[in-house]
């Protein structure tokens, strides 16, 4: 799974012991986690607890996000040459 700190929350990475944040923090040396999150084990108790406490958020996989965006376009309305509207789903 992919996780990142919740907005405004600083977390310590249990492996590297570095402070993690979702955005740069003035006056502190932190590692900014990218918007797509960082990969951790699905069964890591530290990160499961942080998600449960809402100190961290689970980020969906990039491939899942791309798959839903392509399937969500299936029902869009498209113009045809005679001026009538036709749906994308057949």
Confidence class for position 43, pLDDT limits 50, 70, 90: very high
pLDDT over 90 (residue 69):
no
* The pLDDT of residue 65 is above 50: no
Show the tokens assigned to 90. 């057949």
The structure tokens 């502190």 sit at 28
Give the list of residues 6+ apart from residue 52 with CB closer than 8 angstroms, or none: none
Report the chain's mean pLDDT, rounded to a whole number. 81
For 25-36, how does the pLDDT look when each residue is reduced to its tens digit (9 = 90+)?
Answer: 999 999 999 999
Q: What is the pTM of this model?
A: 0.64
Rounded distance, CA 15 to CA 44, Å? 12
Residue 31 · residue 40 · CB < 8 Å: no
DSSP string, 49-73: HHHHTTSEEEE--HHHHHHHHHHHG
Q: Does the pLDDT of residue 52 top 90, yes or no?
A: yes
């Amino acid at each position: 799974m992919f996780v990142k700190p919740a907005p405004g929350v600083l977390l310590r990475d249990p492996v590297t012991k570095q402070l993690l944040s979702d955005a740069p923090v003035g006056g502190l040396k932190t590692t900014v986690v990218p918007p797509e999150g960082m990969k951790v084990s699905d069964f890591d108790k530290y990160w499961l607890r942080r998600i449960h406490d809402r100190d961290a958020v689970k980020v969906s996989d990039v491939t899942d996000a791309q798959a839903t965006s392509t399937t969500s376009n299936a029902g869009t309305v498209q113009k045809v040459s005679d001026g009538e509207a036709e749906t994308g789903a057949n």
